[in-house]
Amino acid sequence: MSGIEAARQVLRDNDRGGYSVPTDRLYPFQWNWDSAFVAMGFATFDPGRAWSEIEWLLRGQWEDGLVPQIVFHAPADTYFPGPEVWGIRREPPTSGITQPPVLATAARRVLAASPGPEGEARMAAVYPRLRDSHRWWAAARDPGGTGLVATLHPWETGMDNSPAWDAALDRVPTDTRTEIRRRDTSHVDPAFRPRAIDYQRFIHLVEVFRDAGWDPARMLAASPFRVADVGTNAILLRAEQDLLALADRFGSPAEAAEIAARIDRAAPALEKLWDAARGHYLSRDLVSGEAIPVRTSAGFLPLFAGQAGHAAALADTLRRWAEAARFRVPSTDPGHPLFEPLRYWRGPVWAVVNWMIAEGLRRCGEVALAEAVAADTRALIAAGGFSEYFDPRTGQGIGGATFSWTAAVALLLEPGAA
Domain CATH number, residue 304: 1.50.10.10
User: Does residue 417 fall inside a structural domain?
Assistant: no
Distance CA 346, CA 341 (A): 7
Number of domains in the chain: 1
The backbone region for 402, taken as left when phi is positive above 0, alpha when psi lies in -120 to 50, beta otherwise, is left
pTM score of the predicted model: 0.97
User: Does residue 81 fall inside a structural domain?
Assistant: yes
User: E strands within 213-270?
Assistant: 227-228
**Preceding omega of 253 cis (within 30 degrees of 0):** no
Residue 277's Cβ-count burial label (10 Å; 0-12, 13-18, 19+) is: exposed
| Residue 50 contacts residue 113 (beta carbons within 8 Å) | yes
Distances (CA, A) of 65 to 90, 123, 138, 219: 14, 17, 11, 16
User: Does residue 242 fall inside a structural domain?
Assistant: yes
What residues act catalytically? 160, 388
pLDDT in tens, 31-64: 999 999 999 999 999 999 999 999 999 999 999 9
| Residue 70 contacts residue 81 (beta carbons within 8 Å) | no
Residue 349, φ and ψ in degrees, nearest 5 = -90, 140
Residue 108, φ and ψ in degrees, nearest 5 = -65, -40
Distance CA 79, CA 27 (A): 6
User: E strands within 59-182?
Assistant: 70-71
Mean pLDDT of the chain: 96
pLDDT in tens, 130-172: 999 999 999 999 999 999 999 999 999 999 999 999 999 999 9
Contacts with 168 (C-beta within 8 Å, 6 or more apart), sequence order: 224, 225, 226, 227, 285, 287, 292
User: Does residue 338 fall inside a structural domain?
Assistant: yes
* 19 has pLDDT over 60: yes
* 256 has pLDDT over 80: yes
Give the residue-averaged pLDDT of 176-197.
77
User: Does residue 418 fall inside a structural domain?
Assistant: no
Contacts with 244 (C-beta within 8 Å, 6 or more apart), sequence order: 256, 259, 260, 263
Confidence of residue 101 (pLDDT cuts 50, 70, 90): very high
User: Does residue 202 fall inside a structural domain?
Assistant: yes
* Parallel/antiparallel/unpaired status of strands 30-31 and 284-285: unpaired
* 418 has pLDDT over 70: no
Helix (H/G/I), strand (E/B), else coil: 34 = helix
Distances (CA, A) of 411 to 118, 216, 225, 275: 23, 37, 36, 35
Give the residue-averaged pLDDT of 193-204.
90
Q: How many CB atoms lie within 10 A of CB 91?
A: 8
Residue 99, φ and ψ in degrees, nearest 5 = -145, 170
319 vs 25, residue with greater confidence: 319
14-22: Cβ within 8 A, 24+ apart: 14/38, 14/402, 14/404, 15/49, 16/73, 16/74, 18/52, 18/53, 18/55, 18/56, 19/52, 19/53, 19/56, 19/57, 19/71, 19/73, 20/53, 20/404, 21/404, 22/388, 22/400, 22/403, 22/404, 22/405
User: Does residue 251 fall inside a structural domain?
Assistant: yes
Distance CA 229, CA 209 (A): 19
- Domain range enclosing 106: 3-412
Instruction: State the pLDDT at residue 1.
Output: 67
Q: 3-state SS of 363-378? A: HCCCHHHHHHHHHHHH
User: Does residue 363 fall inside a structural domain?
Assistant: yes
